[in-house]
Amino acid sequence: MNGKMKAIMKHHRGPGAVLREVEIPSIQNDEVLIKVKATSICGTDVHIYNWDDWSASRVHPPYVFGHEFSGEIVEVGEKVLNFKIGDYVSAETHLVCGHCPQCLTGQYHICEHTKIIGVDTQGCFAEYVAIPATNLWRNPDQMPSDIASIQEPMGNAVHTVLNGDVAGKSVAVIGCGPIGLMAVGVAKAAGASQVFAFDLNEYRLNLAKQMGATTVVNSAKENPIDVAKQLTNGHGVDVVCEMSGHPVAMDQGFKMITNGGRVSILSLPISPVSIDITNDIVFKGIQVQGITGRKMYETWQQVSRLLNSGQVDVSPLITHHFPLEEFEKGFQLMNKGTCGKVVLHP
């Protein structure tokens, strides 16, 4: 397809972004072209927009960023056999090599050579995006486009929570950004007996209640460790899902975990974090997991089923919708923390 499209560009090595008219992407034989219906702003996009140390070391402007979306296929490459024009899709955003030791043993989510759509390649903050057919996920026709656009980050939450047993257990979610909020809903749906939500932001703690948290704690007003111990008969919580990346909060998570518990870490601290390994890991005999991406494509199946069954309702955390042209409003809300998930519509 030839022509121009609107797109949000990370235009320089500095803060901000701009809306520009650019060429519609040309597709390779193994790719499809998708008309974007909805695209949501991720914390990674905020890092790139703000231009922090991580983004300065990773991305290479100018390029179109953004990686969470839903849309309709409008063009199909010659080698694509299992998708057709008109299909309603989203996409796994990790582009993997297929030949490293991890890929060869089915662990595609930890591929040695992973590239991320919208970070290392052209992204979806645009009217159209080109995606390899191997990364596509077919959406149910009845799924709203905004909900379909947040399946990718929900996959992070599902992978974090369900990478071990949670049924009948107490679960602490530390950090109630959008993925933390999804983790609250997933833990509740998976049968957790208690779901604690910890944050400093009252707006997001209120959303955590709506997502099913049994206890919400403002960590600036109450001691998270004391609350967790009090509500678990002094034993500590069975599972900690670390979503904040804050050194103090991470240390609290290791101190509130019970002996033999599990700590799953999705957050990305921007600097080294001090943890008491002897007392909080070794002597407790706990399991510590690093969580990256989603299991391809086991996690996508779990996400789709949780949404389609109604076991997890993510609609409360989609708080704002804007046309693509008003993207700056969305980034301002994300930076202030006065929103859940922000969805842009080209």
159 as an active site residue: the answer is no
What is the CB-side half-sphere exposure of residue 225 using CA atoms within 13 A?
12
According to the annotation, is 204 in a ligand binding site? Answer: yes
Query: Do residues 236 and 260 touch, judged by C-beta distance below 8 A?
Result: no
Phi, psi of 42 (to 5 degrees): -105, 160
Query: Do residues 198 and 332 touch, judged by C-beta distance below 8 A?
Result: no
According to the annotation, is 110 in a ligand binding site? Answer: no
According to the annotation, is 100 in a ligand binding site? Answer: yes
According to the annotation, is 138 in a ligand binding site? Answer: no
Nearest to 175 by CA among 191, 195, 198: 198
Q: Catalytic pick from 11, 12, 47, 321? A: 47
114 as an active site residue: the answer is no
According to the annotation, is 162 in a ligand binding site? Answer: no
* CA gap 13, 15 in Å, rounded: 7
At 8 the three-state DSSP class reads: strand
According to the annotation, is 97 in a ligand binding site? Answer: yes
Q: Catalytic pick from 12, 39, 44, 121? A: 44
According to the annotation, is 124 in a ligand binding site? Answer: no
Q: Which residues contact 222 (CB under 8 A, 6 or more apart)?
A: none
Going by the DSSP 8-state scheme, the letter that residue 54 receives in this structure is: H
According to the annotation, is 267 in a ligand binding site? Answer: yes
According to the annotation, is 78 in a ligand binding site? Answer: no
According to the annotation, is 103 in a ligand binding site? Answer: yes
According to the annotation, is 111 in a ligand binding site? Answer: yes
Q: Is 101 left (phi over 0), alpha (psi -120 to 50) or beta?
A: alpha
Residues at the annotated binding site for NAD(+)? 179, 199, 204, 266-268, 291-292
Show which residues are catalytic: 44, 47
Residues of each annotated binding site for Zn(2+):
42, 67-68, 97, 100, 103, 111
Q: Which residue ranges make up the annotated binding site?
A: 42, 67-68, 97, 100, 103, 111, 179, 199, 204, 266-268, 291-292
